[in-house]
Structure 1
């Protein structure tokens, strides 16, 4: 045996070993589309025995929906054969014997044997790669969303900070100026006959300090709610007596000629958080007084329906009302309606009220017409199930 024959046999043995033990599927296909050879990797990949593949059209391994078009592409390849990836830029799928479809990557080659054109297809199952890519893409989308939300949150915080500075500079300046001027004037009233004037200015100082306290309380309340650290303490109490006490308290805030008309219907004992309900009703009643003029009425109507186990509280005023274009933003932080900018307020009260109502698992709504007044409606359970204390933590 000469050296040329030895090299030929070695090359043939090397090709057979490569074909037999390759981890990638290899198919040899005739110009007529028939499978001439398949290696064990292909048989394992598609679930066929070698005898089941040999002589079959290659379209046997193509999903039915693509078989017709594949014949056209196959014929086109044999007219201009060259080594290239199949279906560049497309998502390719193959079909197993049991009908299962799976994603593949295919590279094509060609050669001549006894004047016959043959194509070689190298088939790789990319299911795991596709799964990894999908998971990676999902993670990228998730992180992109988180980043976008973080940027939006940062922008929102910056906007809130700007609104806070503008609001605080206005709301704090008024009572602080009143305190300073009243102190200066009170110091100048040294005579006994000027005692009434001193008392009047001391009263102004007290009122201004109270305003500052209200502003600070609103900031602290909102922060506590948003941090999810409000402790719900439910107790059974007489709602009628509770509301009467609140009306008496708000009577001290009334302008000249104003009064509160209170009506009550239904059950008296309820089980809810007394402190949170007080903050809700006090805020709405004081708003009714603040945004109403002299000689106008604020209405408080409560219906405690024992049959439906529901409490409905309506607070109605005859004041300036809320412009239609401002109503959608009414519960937003620091938002003031355009007709209320000259009236003292932080723009936080209704934000806090809404979140407090939600802590009671209740609902709040309103109807309003400019210059005709506003009605706020709150609904919540008459007797909340369970009397134990709950820690509401929205951050969890």
Structure 2
């Protein structure tokens, strides 16, 4: 008796709806949650066919489902854990997940249906899809605008190079443009990046591949735009003589481990960055921000120009004479004919294809190294490997 009262209490307080029917599809009981979902009182549904709670075509076909199940044993017709629609008293429909169990009770068979309402989940999925689509449209619009602006800047630079007398005026215009770009593009790009990260987080419970795909496209587009903007800002500051190294002592190994962790997050699928330090010392005196920028730029190139399922070697060394930072990949390599031009601004090797880039990164790394009294060397074999090495005298 006590067990019966406990069972009744559990059923009546259950969050999900519970309905029992006989072998003819006649409703025998509904718990309060089920009545609330469908909008009926008990006396309106008890003794009636369960198909009254189904929209067409399930309403018409339900008796056939039961008959086929009883005569053929096709349990899939009843279905367990499948998504269906319910028909409310007011004529509206709603999605729910249905699980059905067959119960032998007092020498007869009854069927118990467990109903989990999916309305809120479906609404949330739709809102996320709409928001992702809106963000993607905004990013595409800003991408086009920025590309046009960058192209206009490149055209202006080429024209001014023909006249030394107008170079000063061009630099002033460029400085104003870069300042404007920094203000006008950084803030909205940061907002888009943050929003896409939040969407990815909130969408995780739904495991929706479309949302993940579009959020990934948004984040990649924002990352490419941010890289372009950062390259132009860095070049402008270098050419304007605004970059002065600030030397300080710091732990090179700690910095390198942080950079490795940060860059691993943007690596391609099954692309692994392997960091190793050589030497008993790790404290060095360099400009921390400049050397970090060099590391990130070199590793980013290795990520871009290497395929999936590859390793990127990232090594540091501190010996009695030098501080060395080395990045090696097994990517597309640099054609021998292009190697002589590699550090020129805006130059890109002819085998880069559609891989995004500005052609400024290595020029910036070389100039940063020079500001810290260091050198940048490289070795490359086409379609095999490329190694970049930064060296600083102690």
Q: Identify the structure with the greater helix proportion.
A: 2
Q: RCO (CA 8 Å, sep 6+): is it higher in 1 or 2? A: 1
TM-score bracket, shorter-length normalisation: 0.3 to 0.5
- Larger Rg over CA atoms: 1
Q: TM-score, normalised by structure 1?
A: 0.47
